[in-house]
Amino acid sequence: MAYLVRSGRFDYAAHFLAGAGGTLILIAATNALWSMLSGRRPSAFTDAAPAIAAATLISIGFGLVAEFTVFAAPVADIVDIVHQSLGAILVGMACMLLACNRRSWIAALVSDGITAGLGLVMIVIGAVLVGII
């Protein structure tokens, strides 16, 4: 992350944070849905590894679509796509490597809410870095 911020191009860090934050939001939603659909007691991200991998790939896909449509100034920037994807992949891998903790449904919802909130904060920080907000 220091490279991204110290590079002099804050859009590198902004795209990294957008990819990571968006993936956190999608993973939090996926984790809650996975727990409800599997019928098991909620647990930390480890039990939902296939869903997390799918959420990470979907998040990368969202980043590609956004870069080629919404944010394509004259053309999409491959460096921005790479930084978004790196953020998504790093978050996906970290969530899969977390230890599995059995917990109550309320604790699971609070945890997923905090995770999604952190993702939203990361997106806002990225938007501030590039002057969108």
Q: Is residue 4 part of a domain?
A: no
Q: Average model confidence (pLDDT) for the chain? A: 79
Q: Is residue 48 part of a domain?
A: yes
Q: Is residue 117 part of a domain?
A: yes
Q: Is residue 86 part of a domain?
A: yes
pTM attached to this predicted model: 0.79
Question: Domain range spanning residue 100?
Answer: 9-129
Cβ-count burial of 50 within 10 angstroms (0-12 exposed, 13-18 middle, 19+ buried)? exposed
Other C-beta atoms lying within 10 Å of the C-beta of residue 63: 23
pLDDT number for residue 44: 55
Q: What does the alpha-carbon distance between residue 105 and residue 99 come to, in Å, rounded to a whole number? A: 17
Q: What does the alpha-carbon distance between residue 3 and residue 104 come to, in Å, rounded to a whole number? A: 39
pLDDT tens by residue, 28-67: 888 777 777 766 655 555 556 787 888 899 999 998 888 8
State both tokens at 116.
Answer: 């999604």
Q: Sorting pLDDT into bands at 50, 70 and 90, what band is 11?
A: confident
Q: Is residue 1 part of a domain?
A: no
User: Is 70 exceeded by the pLDDT of residue 3?
Assistant: no
pLDDT tens by residue, 82-119: 989 999 999 988 887 775 565 666 777 777 788 888 88
Q: Is residue 3 part of a domain?
A: no
Q: Is residue 2 part of a domain?
A: no
Q: Is residue 61 part of a domain?
A: yes
Cβ-count burial of 84 within 10 angstroms (0-12 exposed, 13-18 middle, 19+ buried)? buried
Interacting residues of 120 by C-beta distance below 8 A, sequence separation 6+: 21, 25
Residues 83/84/90/94 CA torsion (nearest 10 deg): 160
Give the total number of structural domains in the chain: 1
pLDDT number for residue 57: 93
